[in-house]
Amino acid sequence: MMNHLKVKEGKMLEVQFVGDDDVLNHILDKEEGAKFRKDRTQLLVNVKKLMKKQENDLNEDDQEDLKDENYVDILGGDTQESLKNGRVAGSSSKVYSFQTRKNPEKMAELAHELAKTPGKSTSLISKENAEKMANTPQSSKKQSTSDKDQLKSDEKNEFLSTPYRLRKRLTVSTLPSDTESEYSDSNSEDEKGVKQEEEEKINEVMDQKRVVKHKSSSSSCKKVSAKKMKKDTTTDLVEEYFEAHSSSKVLTSDRTLQKLKKTKLDQQTLHNLLSKFSPSFSAELKELNEQHEQLFHKWMLQLHLGFNIVLYGLGSKKELLEKFRASMLQDSIHVVINGFFPGITVKSILNSITEEILDHMGTFRSVLDQLDWIINKFKDDSSLELFLLIHNLDSQMLRGDKSQQILGQLSSLPKIYLIASIDHINAPLMWDHSKQSLYNWLWYETTTYKPYTEETSYENSLLVQQCGTIALSSLTHVFRSLTPNARGIFRLLIKYQLENEDNPSYIGLSFQDFYQQCREAFLVNSDLTLRAQLIEFRDHKLLRTKKGTDGVEYLLIPIDTGTLTDFLEKEEKES
């Protein structure tokens, strides 16, 4: 069977288009339904892997793409297609033996993702190629692959004639059919092959139809269709929404970063790496920024006339506001507030106003009292003027209703001038009518395309390893402040945890065992003292306790093993 398939694959290399009947006959010869099913999945898997493989060897791909182009130039579109398949098949032979199943949808999705990427090569031949493809009958098994490949080749050659929507639609419409067949596979475990064939036939016909439709519209009347699509946009949107949210299960590939050996970078290395990369279009960016800088005088004028200014648009606005501050606010009292700072609160903003600007040393019962006090102060003293610069007014910490209300009230004072920036797409939803009238915004679009370096540096970003260095340093700090006995206790726990590193079902050290160990090491004399020591760790978030199923308390250090080993090594070196 295997051999046979390989042979078939080989055939495909030479003869691009196998007639349907041939294939069917071929399969019917084999006849056994179950076996056939296996083959089929295998093939699908195979194809998937091919695609994946392709992605993995990106550089290779690009190289080969270049070669392909040459071929294309010489041989024309059809051969390119076959060549590609051939190459892919060849490179896949290594992975062939693994037979993990992948989500079909994810596969298609990946293909689209790839498809979305316009390559550097340019060739119009692929257009012809595409048209030819549309007219040629294709083997049912090859269908899904070729379809995707086709898309892929389109894009690779910067052939983006299909309007985006259309393409999306096409992919959307093909997706279910793919998955369907895949599911039907798993469901119809006991069904006869004949049925499957029928199904397949139907699928195939549908697919072909779709392809033809797609091609014709893309090549000849794309403009018209694009217009038509626009009409459908609204319904499309709705459909898309429900499509995305209909099933609770979303099919995506199971690949994780760990398998890829792409470890999380920490903030510092990330920064270093990025500094090596210089963004393009610096001239245009500069021009864009200069346009914004011309507005400074206007902003000052409008601020003085009772408006407040909010900046929106893609790109970090910190630098722009910083420039504004440097050029316009040198002679006036102003407060810069980093909204993206994770520890920022309205209280701290008000505090810095009352303490540092109004030189008030007392405390306030509540934030509202404080606000009232400030308002009165500003009403009494008409010579007071204050500029507030808030970067990211829409940050996690400030977006709450109460915070916004207070800031709004603050900004509504005639002598407090607020200039703020927002970035989140839903930021305007923070403000209802009454808040908006408090703020009295004038909106300014300042798209800068500047990277949000500082804004994202605080954030617990997805791929940035945050805990590493910070946890280690905090660990050492806490550790040094402990008594020798407590250090011993903690070291015991660490060692125990490291010993059980490889045990997946390890849920922690039970309190009783721990107490026993500590007693044996002469570290504590009663479980009460041990508990007292543990409180210290818990307060520093160095320890977590959990009740097990048997009601016993388990102790766990919520820090990854790498950091712990580092820590132990360091400690042993020092002592």
Please list every residue from 263 through 322 that binds another protein, using CB under 8 A: 265, 269-270, 273-274, 276-277, 279-281, 283-285, 287-288, 294, 297-298, 300-302, 304-305, 307, 312-315, 318, 322
Contacts with another protein in 195-234 (CB under 8 A)?
A: 226, 233
Q: How many Cβ atoms are within 10 Å of 13's Cβ, its own excluded?
A: 15
Contacts with another protein in 116-145 (CB under 8 A)?
A: 116-120
Q: How far is CA 401 from CA 45, 258, 398, 459, 480, in A?
A: 51, 40, 8, 21, 42
Nearest CB to another protein, comparing residues 312 and 378: 312
- Write down the least CB distance from residue 368 to another protein, Å: 8
Rule CB under 8 A: is residue 423 a binding residue for another protein? yes
- Strands 509-510, 553-556: pairing kind: antiparallel
Nearest CB to another protein, comparing residues 198 and 355: 355
Binding-site member from 168, 360, 487, 570 for another protein (CB under 8 A): 168
Binding-site member from 237, 521, 532, 535 for another protein (CB under 8 A): 237
In the chain, % helix, strand, coil (3-state, to 5) comes to 65, 5, 30
Pattern 82-121, another protein, x by CB under 8 A? ------------------------x--xx-xxx-xxxxx-
Binding-site member from 456, 469, 476, 561 for another protein (CB under 8 A): 456
CA-to-CA distance for 548 and 61, rounded, in angstroms?
52
Contacts with another protein in 325-384 (CB under 8 A)?
A: 325, 329-341, 343-344, 348-349, 351-353, 356-357, 368, 383
**What is the side-by-side order of every strand in the sheet holding 553-556?**
509-510, 553-556, 544-547
- Strands 544-547, 553-556: pairing kind: antiparallel
Rule CB under 8 A: is residue 183 a binding residue for another protein? no
- CB-based contacts of 293: which residues, under 8 Å, 6+ apart? 320, 323, 324
- Write down the least CB distance from residue 205 to another protein, Å: 27
**How distant is the alpha carbon of residue 67 from its chain centre?**
33
As to burial, measured by CB atoms within 10 angstroms (0-12 exposed, 13-18 middle, 19+ buried), residue 318 is buried
- Write down the least CB distance from residue 500 to another protein, Å: 22
- Write down the least CB distance from residue 158 to another protein, Å: 9
Binding-site member from 7, 25, 67, 164 for another protein (CB under 8 A): 164
- Write down the least CB distance from residue 427 to another protein, Å: 7
CA-to-CA distance for 487 and 482, rounded, in angstroms?
6
Rule CB under 8 A: is residue 235 a binding residue for another protein? no
The residue among 318, 240, 533, 139 whose CA lies nearest residue 326 is 318
Nearest CB to another protein, comparing residues 126 and 139: 126
Binding-site member from 100, 187, 426, 503 for another protein (CB under 8 A): 426
Token duo for residue 331: 């002679």
From the CA atom positions of the chain, what is the Rg in Å? 32
Contacts with another protein in 397-416 (CB under 8 A)?
A: 405
- Write down the least CB distance from residue 523 to another protein, Å: 35
Nearest CB to another protein, comparing residues 105 and 191: 105
Token duo for residue 203: 């699928």
CA-to-CA distance for 73 and 65, rounded, in angstroms?
12
CA-to-CA distance for 459 and 214, rounded, in angstroms?
44
- Write down the least CB distance from residue 162 to another protein, Å: 8
Helices 140-156 & 104-116, crossing angle to 10 degrees? Answer: 30
Nearest CB to another protein, comparing residues 8 and 148: 148
- Strands 416-421, 265-266: pairing kind: unpaired
Instruction: Tell me how many residues contact another protein (CB under 8 A).
Output: 131
